[in-house]
Structure 1
Amino acid sequence: MLGFGTLAKKVFGTANDRKIKATKPIVAKINALEPEFEKLTDAQLIEKTAEFKERLSKGETLDQLLPEAFANCREGAKRALGLRAFDVQLMGGIFLHQGNIAEMKTGEGKTLMSTFAAYLNALTGRGVHVVTVNDYLAARDAEWMSKVYGALGLTTGVVIPNQPKDQKREAYACDITYSTNNELGFDYLRDNMATDLAQMMQRDHYFAIVDEVDSILIDEARTPLVISGPAQDRSEMYVTIDKVIPGIQDEHYTLDEKSRQVTFTDEGNDYLEAQLKAAGLLDAEHSLYDPESTTLVHHVNQALRAHKMFTKDKDYIVRDGGIVLIDEFTGRMMAGRRLSDGLHQAIEAKEGCKIQPENVTMASVTFQNYFRLYDKLGGMTGTAMTEETEFRTIYNLGVVAVPTNRPVARVDEHDQIYRSAQEKYAAITKEIQKVHETGQPILVGTTSIEKSEYLSQLLTAAGVKHNVLNARQHEQEAQIVADAGKLGAVTIATNMAGRGTDIKLGGNVEHKVLEAITAEPDADPEAIRTRIEEAHKADEEAVKAAGGLYVLATERHESRRIDNQLRGRSGRQGDPGRSSFYLSLDDDLMRIFGSERLEKVLSGLGMKEGEAIVHPWVNKSLERAQAKVEGRNFDIRKQLLQFDDVMNEQRKVIFKQRREILEADDQSEIVTDMRHDAIDDLVDQFIPERSYADQWDAEGLYAASIEKLNLDVPIIDWAKEDGVDDDDLRSRLIEASDKLMEEKLEAFGPETMRQVEKQLLLTTIDAKWREHLLTLEHLRSVVGLRSHAQRNPLDEYKNESFQLFEGMLESLREDVTQKLSRIQPMTKEQQEQMVRQMVEQQRRAQMAAAPVTPAEPSGEAAPGFVEDDPSTWGNPGRNDLCPCGSGQKFKHCHGKL
């Protein structure tokens, strides 16, 4: 018997079905316009764009223009790329324009689909940002799709790291700009550290289309973007503490893998105290519980996390004497990304690498709050439905599953569960051997470099030829993925999320053509292409006959999305395919969530070694476990966002204030208001409200006015006068202060005074904001302990951070007033030098944030430098010039990770 919910869905359709149905009349309109737009010349397509812009300026809406604009864009794409968009791609474009996430299966053409919404919204002239997960995809998609936009009369730009400033500014000024999420976020922070409007890059946050939206807005949302500068060097402390950790026994700490937390027990604290005293890090009369030991305890905790929570070749690799983090979702190296709070330094000490100094936060933002700056947001991915609640709650984004152009023909088999990892890998090796003999290409998914290399050894021993794709083979990624669909290919891959290159049955034609042209430079490229396309058809049919791509996963990820992404590599555009998951009770997910019950079930069934259990119930229970983990991870991200929202309100105030200062030529009104407020604060401090004259601290106010206002006025005598109240004192101080500043204005000259005020305001705001961020970081790390006193940590954080922010603004007023009051008239040369110094001081504060522009190449390599022999390169630092003579920093040239 059907339940009410199931019955209702059968009668009325799901919410997703209704959304799809609502777009069908619009798609029909676009299709009806096709013959009309086919008759237009190339020049008339561009004229149509100008016509649409004019109609928009006269009051028409984007929704009214949509059918014609989409028809124009489809025709432009057909001529520029030779690709005619399917109806489902038009649907996806409509959903993007409406501010939704379009979930489209792998190989359905998301890149082309995004051009429709981008083109329509770019007609407003406010600029559209298309966001990708890495620089390679941003550059590839921009180059590819710029042909479409160019055919329609629009400009395309791409923003990548280390780009010259002029190029980057031009890219942001284009109608459509491709970039990575990291670069957009960092440019936003850099813009809000600029000392001049001309230094700012981004012009507006109108509409963003986020590719691999689940990877960017969910997986990467746990880590805020931070621009930092160097702090005090504590490398010796990390090394000394690291020597203590290996002696720690199991009873000294507790490890909670579910919440990824590790803490010392009482026995562990006693052991540590003794060891730290012996090492001379802790005074004999102090204990770990003393307030003076806070920093030391923090370092010890980070060292413990480095040893017990972070595993080499899974969470990071050691490369060129440094620690390079690995993205747990994509398996990619995250070069240049560092863990905060001294955790990265603790891992460097653990692996015996050179310890880089810690950094001080100069500006930070989370991806959630950056992307919520946009008036409208759209996204696309192959897997978003499992996180629909989070997208709606955090970003107000709906998720719509767009139907495939052709029905999915892939066969998804039930999971096979073995008792031990050894049995599982033996079964996987046997299965790969068996399938490999049939010629069916196999993609084997693993969760870590270590496991992919272990499986590679087993296959080598079994005589199976294969490729391995993980963070170590980063450079050959596109080639390995392109070959993965060839007849008889076996590819082991660590996490396939966001790889960007489709696995096509029979191999990738474009890659084959490029290889052939490189091998035969004198041959006719068109003849080569024709020959290869003919051969490819036969290869493709042979692979289809063998069953298409077989995806064999060696473990389930804690997120269903990552499993679905791997599965989705097979069966693209109606191709045949097959997927299967091989699991064991030793797998992390099984071990942490519910393996005990399964162990009992398996024992009760009397299973023999090497046998597997296969049942739909097992799949269901695993999906429930994954849903639990996803829910917990959502809570973690939600909590991060709730805390960052508090800071975000303050960030908006500061960034808005900075922008107003940059845009205005005259700051005199702002600094005058600040000075008057500072005088109010001073009077309130020394003359309590509703107090008698004998309760006043006139001496204190006199001393403070000399120090803070540079005013030597007879406050003590004024206070003794009959009938004088606090308002009279306030008025007299303001009058004296105004007179002093008028004298300074006359001595400096209005133009120089305005420059000084502007730079002084900016440098002081930035310095105060940096201090405030550090204070908030410390508050965030300790406020969690308030829960032991039955107080809500978030409420405590809100209240205290607001008080700290008010205190920062008060201190800002005081500092600006004091500095301006003490500026002495100078010669013109001295005044100009002072302004230059202020600008230079601000520039230095920005150095960590500024994009690197390559220096002019010297053209001369260092003596003895040999291109292919790293031993001849010397030992340059990462920020030193490269010994090859290119003029670039070593880290961006031969030292590039």
Structure 2
Amino acid sequence: MVNLGGIARKLFGSANDRRVKSFQANVVAINALEQEMRELSDEALAAKTIEFRKLLADGKQLDDLLVPAFAVVREASQRVLGLRPFDVQLIGGMILHANAIAEMKTGEGKTLVAALPLYLNALLGKGVHVVIVNDYLAQRDSVYMGRLYGFLGLTTGVIVHGLDDDERRAAYACDITYATNNELGFDYLRDNMKHERVQMVQRDHSYALIDEVDSILIDEARTPLIISGPLDDRSDLYLTLDTFVPRLSKDDYEIDEKQRSASFSEDGNEKLENMLREAGLLKGESLYDIENVAIVHHINNALKAHKLFQREKDYIVRNGEVVIIDESTGRMMPGRRYSDGLHQALEAKERVQVQPENQTLSQITFQNYFRMYQKLAGMTGTASTEAEEFGDVYGLDVIEVPTNLPIRRIDEDDEVYRTDKEKYNAIVVEILDAHRREQPILVGTTSIGKSEHLADLMRAKGFNEFQVLNARYHEQEAYIVSQAGVPGAVTIATNMAGRGTDIQLGGNAEMRIEQELADMPAGPERQTREQAIREDVARLKEKALNAGGLYVLATERHESRRIDNQLRGRSGRQGDPGRSKFFLSLQDDLMRIFGSEQMDGMLQRLGLMEGEAIVHPWINKAVERAQKKVEARNFDIRKNVLKYDEVLNDQRKVIFDERVELMESKDLSEFVRELRYDLIDNLVSQHVPSTAYAEQWDVDGLKAEVSQHFDLDLPIHEWVKEEGIAEDDIRFRLEEATEKAAAQKAERFGPDIMNYVERSIVLQTLDGLWREHIVSLDHLRSVIGFRGYAQRDPLQEYKAEAFDLFQAMLNNLRFAVIGQLSRVEIVQEQQPEPELPPMRLDHPSVDLGVDGFASGFIANGPLVAEPERDPDKPSTWGRIGRNQACPCGSGRKYKHCHGSFAQAEPV
């Protein structure tokens, strides 16, 4: 069969080639300006920033300035940093400006590439955010690249852990702000818990450029960022339940490693019931009575902690704390905790102090946070395997940028052994051989335990000339990585994603100078020593090149091809020679979970002897197919999580936007009046409905409710005795009476103090109800899956019920706010701002229309004069009071027409 696709690619190039080629005309234009820029003085070059901003103010678009702006950055970079961006780096910068992901191989200079679109987009003055994977790299890059931006007249800020609000506000006010993804997300959540607009630290979400975009938008996006406050201490319960699991046999539970799930068998349930009964923890007769829901949840966590979570792989115990290990980068994540009691179960298992559980105060996923930006871009060395997810979730295309020099790395076929023992013996032999030939070797492992097991095997052979890089020794990681290219160097590393430091053959001269000459003052002697170090590094580089460049040896495959490619990409940077090979065994997690028994039988029949390996391209393809299965499953999990979270996200946008509007309003009396009238409508409709006769009205109930919520004793019984009295008359009299009472209170205490009290009560009440609402949705989501057994779509059921809960929350807001305002007694002194409970920042383990929700609260938008409103175009109406006439011309109040919840039914 003729491969038409292959022929077309040969004739016309791939789709990626055509995209890259489309940027070539701009590259030619930028190069044409190079001589002109070179002739400018430093002052004239820096003045280009002012010129560009004036052009933008006069109506020019950013795309119109791309060529001259990139030419300015290239020349400034040459003068300030001594680095001139290559043509392929210019292309990478254009991709990042065009809302896409630039896939650039390791060592191709992504940090410098980022400066091009960052400068261009910062000209708008709205602030651009550079998202980095850790604090160290954020600080390093902001200082290093800040020299370039400062030369061009732009300000640079950095957000790291430990800054106070004033420092954060100043950093966000800069033209270019470096920050980690966690700090950005938590700042957004914290901002929406503030009670004054001036206390907020973030401004526009204009443009974000994400470094290591696959790590941040894929790996870390599986779990939300959560701000939580402590609940009651229940450490005794966790410790008691933890003692039950070791008493169970293998027949008492089922473990599914593929799905990372654990459950009890019938025999196990019976044993647990007896244990719980003995401990006095079982309520009722059965473990699955409704009263025991929390106990079931916690005993399941105890089982997971023992059977699914491994010490030294998923977490380590350090200084009496259980610290999570990032599975993608191998880094420790101090301060992060698993949610829903799982972290407490691990603490009980390890017999360290069990910290109290937390209640969610606010949360957001990275998907929904970064989709708030008007413009988003990213760069990484490995994104192609996840291109579908980037497109579906974020609307980002992945474009591969050609390398400046051809790749000379040789990627060898995998070697597959039957057992771990055989595999590790072969790895040790290979490492010792590479060291003897003075070829630098980087050994990649998937966990701390495996890196230390390999280190022990090396020591047993009498070899100690190696470095171990894992979460235990992350403080020295930059220096260890920088020197991993020295001839004969042996570096054992747990994952290599997002390390931020290239492995240079011969070592890194600047890092050596910083390390070796830290205490030597400037002067001729230091200059001599620096020159000697640089000459030594050049000599060592030549030696490493002659030995074949960096050899990357991996001890097993990861679940994701992307992580494997990140490891491979450490070798062969900037056209250097290199080599990579993976050593596998049938006992590896990936091979074992995906059916290695059949392969084991086949290898035995083929007569594979102990210590022998099978090497064939078919093996590579079989492993790759297994990886694709895992990637597809993980993508489906993330998509499903996102579908549910989008329901909460739509509601969160409404609440957070409303909070900002409330904080910015100088006078909340109109808003409070709307709530008061809505409450009166609700009470009148409930107790004196228009469809009932007067003798059927619940006058006693109405009087009691009015007294409870408005603190008024009104002669409602006398009103209803009047001839011809109607529902609207009672409503009007209630509105009049409550309005008079509110006016008297405002007059008594003054408008400023009254407005302060109204704002405080509204925001505190809204925040409290919103926190309860989040918890309600969490509980709803944990059980909604059972609706599938009734042939109903759980997601649609969740959307409908979440909508009802949101309506109920808004209704409760009216009751709570008006009730408090009616009874509040104001002391004539400024009250201190209410303190939030102690908070913890968590990043734990694993559509309703926005307009619909907005109409249930307050229609968003600017105030618009009535003559400018087009009855047929709701987009021209702006913000409308809920008791005003609807602009559509129906004659009904807005809340009973286009502002009603009926206009916002769940999809």
TM-score range, shorter chain: over 0.9
Match of 1:239 in 2: 239
Which shows bigger deviation, 108-117 or 532-541? 532-541
Distance across 2 between alignment mates of 1:383 and 1:774 = 37
Q: What is the RMSD computed on CA atoms of the aligned residues?
A: 1.3
- Is the Cα contact below 8 Å between 1:157 and 1:172 reproduced in 2? yes
Per-residue deviation at 1:848?
5.0
Distance across 1 between alignment mates of 2:307 and 2:60 = 61
- Is the Cα contact below 8 Å between 1:483 and 1:508 reproduced in 2? yes
Which shows bigger deviation, 674-683 or 412-421? 674-683
Identify unmatched segments of 5+ residues in structure 2: 843-907
2:828 paired with 1:831? yes
Distance across 2 between alignment mates of 1:799 and 1:819 = 31
Structure 2 residue identity aligned to 1:576: P
- Is the Cα contact below 8 Å between 2:228 and 2:839 reproduced in 1? no
Distance across 2 between alignment mates of 1:809 and 1:347 = 38
Structure 1 residue identity aligned to 2:173: A
- Is the Cα contact below 8 Å between 2:419 and 2:585 reproduced in 1? yes
Distance across 1 between alignment mates of 2:324 and 2:201 = 29
Match of 1:861 in 2: none
2:98 paired with 1:98? yes
Which whole-Å deviations, capped at 9, do the CAs of 1:329-388 have from their partners, x for residues lacking one? 000000000011011001101100101101111110000000000000000000000000
Per-residue deviation at 1:313?
0.7
Which shows bigger deviation, 654-663 or 678-687? 678-687
Which whole-Å deviations, capped at 9, do the CAs of 1:24-63 have from their partners, x for residues lacking one? 1100100110000001111111111100010011111111
Structure 2 residue identity aligned to 1:239: L
- Is the Cα contact below 8 Å between 1:191 and 1:200 reproduced in 2? yes
Distance across 2 between alignment mates of 1:665 and 1:39 = 54
Match of 1:782 in 2: 783
Distance across 2 between alignment mates of 1:300 and 1:439 = 53
- Is the Cα contact below 8 Å between 2:442 and 2:552 reproduced in 1? yes
Distance across 2 between alignment mates of 1:13 and 1:325 = 45
Distance across 2 between alignment mates of 1:806 and 1:630 = 38
Match of 2:372 in 1: 373
Match of 2:580 in 1: 579
1:51-130 correspondence runs (5 A): 51-130=51-130
Match of 2:729 in 1: 728
1:534-545 correspondence runs (5 A): 534-545=535-546
- Is the Cα contact below 8 Å between 1:101 and 1:379 reproduced in 2? yes
Which shows bigger deviation, 223-232 or 461-470? 461-470
Alpha-carbon distance change, 689 to 457 in structure 1, aligned in 2, over 3 angstroms: farther
Per-residue deviation at 1:570?
0.3
Distance across 2 between alignment mates of 1:720 and 1:791 = 51
1:71-220 correspondence runs (5 A): 71-220=71-220
Structure 1 residue identity aligned to 2:349: K
1:709-858 correspondence runs (5 A): 709-824=710-825, 826=826, 830-833=827-830, 835-836=831-832, 839=833, 841=834, 843-845=835-837, 848=840
Distance across 1 between alignment mates of 2:598 and 2:8 = 36
Distance across 2 between alignment mates of 1:526 and 1:50 = 39
- Is the Cα contact below 8 Å between 1:517 and 1:523 reproduced in 2? no
1:351-750 correspondence runs (5 A): 351-464=350-463, 465-518=465-518, 520-521=520-521, 524=524, 525-750=526-751
Report the TM-score when normalising by structure 1. 0.92
Identify unmatched segments of 5+ residues in structure 1: 851-897
Which secondary structure state, in structure 1, belongs to the residue aligned with residue 84 of structure 2?
A: coil
Distance across 2 between alignment mates of 1:519 and 1:175 = 35
- Is the Cα contact below 8 Å between 2:232 and 2:357 reproduced in 1? yes
Distance across 2 between alignment mates of 1:551 and 1:754 = 66
Which secondary structure state, in structure 1, belongs to the residue aligned with residue 480 of structure 2?
A: helix
Which whole-Å deviations, capped at 9, do the CAs of 1:616-642 have from their partners, x for residues lacking one? 111111111101100110111111111
Structure 2 residue identity aligned to 1:51: E
Which secondary structure state, in structure 2, belongs to the residue aligned with residue 218 of structure 1?
A: helix
Structure 2 residue identity aligned to 1:267: D
- Is the Cα contact below 8 Å between 2:336 and 2:841 reproduced in 1? no
Which shows bigger deviation, 557-566 or 530-539? 530-539
Structure 2 residue identity aligned to 1:831: Q
Match of 1:7 in 2: 7
Structure 2 residue identity aligned to 1:751: D
Which secondary structure state, in structure 2, belongs to the residue aligned with residue 612 of structure 1?
A: coil
Per-residue deviation at 1:681?
1.2
Per-residue deviation at 1:527?
2.5
Which shows bigger deviation, 191-200 or 202-211? 191-200
Match of 1:304 in 2: 303
Which whole-Å deviations, capped at 9, do the CAs of 1:785-838 have from their partners, x for residues lacking one? 2222222211111111110000000001111111111123x5xxx2325x32xx
Distance across 1 between alignment mates of 2:299 and 2:693 = 55
Distance across 2 between alignment mates of 1:553 and 1:276 = 46
Distance across 2 between alignment mates of 1:849 and 1:641 = 21
- Is the Cα contact below 8 Å between 1:190 and 1:849 reproduced in 2? no
Distance across 1 between alignment mates of 2:721 and 2:437 = 105
Alpha-carbon distance change, 291 to 240 in structure 1, aligned in 2, over 3 angstroms: same
Structure 1 residue identity aligned to 2:447: S
Which shows bigger deviation, 659-668 or 5-14? 5-14
- Is the Cα contact below 8 Å between 2:230 and 2:356 reproduced in 1? yes
- Is the Cα contact below 8 Å between 1:45 and 1:151 reproduced in 2? no
- Is the Cα contact below 8 Å between 1:516 and 1:528 reproduced in 2? no
Which secondary structure state, in structure 2, belongs to the residue aligned with residue 468 of structure 1?
A: strand
Distance across 2 between alignment mates of 1:703 and 1:807 = 21
Which secondary structure state, in structure 2, belongs to the residue aligned with residue 831 of structure 1?
A: coil
Which secondary structure state, in structure 1, belongs to the residue aligned with residue 584 of structure 2?
A: strand
Distance across 1 between alignment mates of 2:839 and 2:448 = 35
Per-residue deviation at 1:685?
2.2
Per-residue deviation at 1:515?
2.4
Which secondary structure state, in structure 1, belongs to the residue aligned with residue 718 of structure 2?
A: helix
- Is the Cα contact below 8 Å between 1:129 and 1:208 reproduced in 2? yes
Per-residue deviation at 1:523?
5.5
Which whole-Å deviations, capped at 9, do the CAs of 1:848-867 have from their partners, x for residues lacking one? 579xxxxxxxxxxxxxxxxx
Per-residue deviation at 1:764?
0.8
Per-residue deviation at 1:846?
7.1
Which secondary structure state, in structure 2, belongs to the residue aligned with residue 287 of structure 1?
A: coil
Alpha-carbon distance change, 75 to 522 in structure 1, aligned in 2, over 3 angstroms: closer
Match of 2:258 in 1: 258
Which secondary structure state, in structure 2, belongs to the residue aligned with residue 803 of structure 1?
A: helix
Which secondary structure state, in structure 2, belongs to the residue aligned with residue 758 of structure 1?
A: helix
Structure 2 residue identity aligned to 1:319: R
Which shows bigger deviation, 169-178 or 246-255? 246-255
Match of 1:888 in 2: none
- Is the Cα contact below 8 Å between 1:383 and 1:565 reproduced in 2? yes
Distance across 2 between alignment mates of 1:211 and 1:252 = 46
Distance across 2 between alignment mates of 1:8 and 1:259 = 41
Structure 2 residue identity aligned to 1:766: D
Structure 2 residue identity aligned to 1:426: N
- Is the Cα contact below 8 Å between 1:441 and 1:486 reproduced in 2? yes
Distance across 1 between alignment mates of 2:697 and 2:608 = 89
Report the TM-score when normalising by structure 2. 0.91
Number of aligned positions between the proteins: 840
Structure 2 residue identity aligned to 1:376: K
Distance across 2 between alignment mates of 1:689 and 1:616 = 80
Match of 1:880 in 2: none
- Is the Cα contact below 8 Å between 1:193 and 1:846 reproduced in 2? no
Structure 2 residue identity aligned to 1:832: E
Which whole-Å deviations, capped at 9, do the CAs of 1:179-212 have from their partners, x for residues lacking one? 0000000000011111111211111000000000
Which secondary structure state, in structure 2, belongs to the residue aligned with residue 153 of structure 1?
A: coil
Which whole-Å deviations, capped at 9, do the CAs of 1:304-339 have from their partners, x for residues lacking one? 111111111110001111100000000000000001
Per-residue deviation at 1:612?
0.6
Match of 1:870 in 2: none
Which secondary structure state, in structure 2, belongs to the residue aligned with residue 67 of structure 1?
A: helix
